[in-house]
Amino acid sequence: MSTDRTVAATIDRANTERAGAVVGYLPAGYPDLETSVDAAVALAENGVDVIELGLPYSDPVMDGPVIQRAAEESLANGFKVAQVFDAVRAITERVDTPVLVMTYWNPVLRYGVERFADDLVAAGAAGLITPDLIPDEGQQWIDASERTGLDRVFLAAPSSTDTRMRQAVDRSRGFVYAVSTMGVTGARTGVDSAARTVVSRLRDAGVERTCVGLGISTADQVREVLEYADGAIIGSAFVRALADLGVGGVAERAAELSAGAAAPGAAPPGAASSGAGRR
């Protein structure tokens, strides 16, 4: 990936040109591998700056029911860990958008940390988001990502101590994922006010870039989050659109939500023709 298309550069550019960055999550292999690739491309073609591609896992403790069901269906249809690299490669061949793989740590350990990192690089991925790996237990991944130049995104939550906040800031590369609420993911009617506190504490700890996730489902919420954070992360809203309306629905939803990051007076992105009408 060229230097100006790294996650960091992409987020910085979005904050210069618009209100901030939009990060969009979809699970790999849902409802099948080809459709999941088409849906991720639809995100990129409709205003999403960074793609977060989930690796389906049998024990997704942080995911809400919408994402859990999608992961279960993907696994039931035979999705294998190695296919996430196929998905990343197919996406990055079609769009020049950074792709971060979101994965629980156990699949990486079982696959082999160094092998996983090498295969990520070969596929064109930008790095990993690791929701259940805390920085002070992540040295193996830190070493592998240093060797390969991959980004590593750790999480900070309302319950994080000041020490854990500093660790997340010091050891992340790309951005720090600010969890806005305690509990599992899922679209909510309002973004928890704790998000502002988490971001403020990360700023105090010296964070360069932080994106807020868990519960964002409207353009107004995107706009609100970008008043104080560098990016807004959207997951369940896109997964639900894919489940209900197919790839065309993902394209429309991405255009709708990314409008919350538009500069005042800017026209919202249009639905991409390549995604319309696909499942």
Catalytic positions, written as ranges: 52, 63
How many Å apart are CA 27 and CA 35, to the nearest integer? 11
Q: CA angle 42-13-260, nearest 5°?
A: 55
* Half-sphere exposure for 56 (CA within 13 Å, toward CB): 29
Closest to 203 (Cα-Cα) out of 155, 154, 166: 166
* Helices 236-258 and 33-44: angle between axes, nearest 10 degrees: 30
